Amino acid sequence: MHRVDMKIVLLGHGAVGKTSLMERFVNERFNESLSYQNTIGAAFASKQIEVDDQKLILGIWDTAGSERYDSMTKIYYRGARAAIVCYEISNQNTFNRAKHWVRELRSVEEKCKIYLCATKNDLVEMGHEPAPSLDTVEIYASGIQSKLYITSSKTGENIAEMFREIAQDFLSDPSNREELKQELISLSVNDKGSSCCAFLHRR
């Protein structure tokens, strides 16, 4: 059983590196030798982080990227407070797919903050060209009031920093802090009484 303070969903085209990103953040590892496995449906992991003396349990949903699972993906981002919309830094097609997710989230999940994540930056360091150019992506990101993170799960670049900033943004909203406090109170009340479902999703 898990208690989750903040739900985060990973979205993006298949093979952009969503599962690797979760693996890097949660377990601090990258396994290139594993043959590519398409995530079926979605996977879940949680991790506690501490930001400004406040402990926060992040619940992370890693979704499948292909169109085949589009209608199912809605189930996973429902109630998410942050979405990390991923695209592969040198693959224009995956950027177009990211824009699709942004449009969709905007229309259905108003409380969900969007973070744009360029994955596999180690490839650029190896000589691959960013596509679209990073200037174009920055302009797009600011147009949707989103931050852009340039990351690599292979090297670990910017992964922990991105999750930390997402948690910080969440906690900087006083109503979220208040909600957290209330939840802790109700949990401690429940702990004294009969056992009750401890799996909580924040909406």
Alpha-carbon span 198 to 203, nearest angstrom: 15
154 binds, among ligand GDP, Mg ion, none (CB under 5 to 8 A by kind): ligand GDP
Radius of gyration of the chain (CA): 17
Widest CA span of the chain, in angstroms? 60
152 binds, among Mg ion, ligand GDP, none (CB under 5 to 8 A by kind): ligand GDP
Exposed e or buried b per residue across 56-69, where buried means at least 16 C-beta atoms within 10 angstroms of its C-beta:
bebbbbbbbbeeeb
Nearer to ligand GDP (CB atom), residue 32 or residue 53: 32
20 binds, among Mg ion, ligand GDP, none (CB under 5 to 8 A by kind): ligand GDP
Alpha-carbon span 179 to 194, nearest angstrom: 23
Contact flags string 17-56 toward Mg ion, x per CB under 5 A? -xx-------------------x-----------------
Ramachandran bin of 85, using left for φ above 0, alpha for ψ from -120 to 50, beta for the remaining angles: beta
Residue 119 found at the interface with Mg ion (CB under 5 A):
no
79 binds, among Mg ion, ligand GDP, none (CB under 5 to 8 A by kind): none
Nearer to Mg ion (CB atom), residue 75 or residue 187: 75
Alpha-carbon span 140 to 99, nearest angstrom: 9
Nearer to Mg ion (CB atom), residue 38 or residue 186: 38
Residues that bind Mg ion (CB under 5 A): 18-19, 39
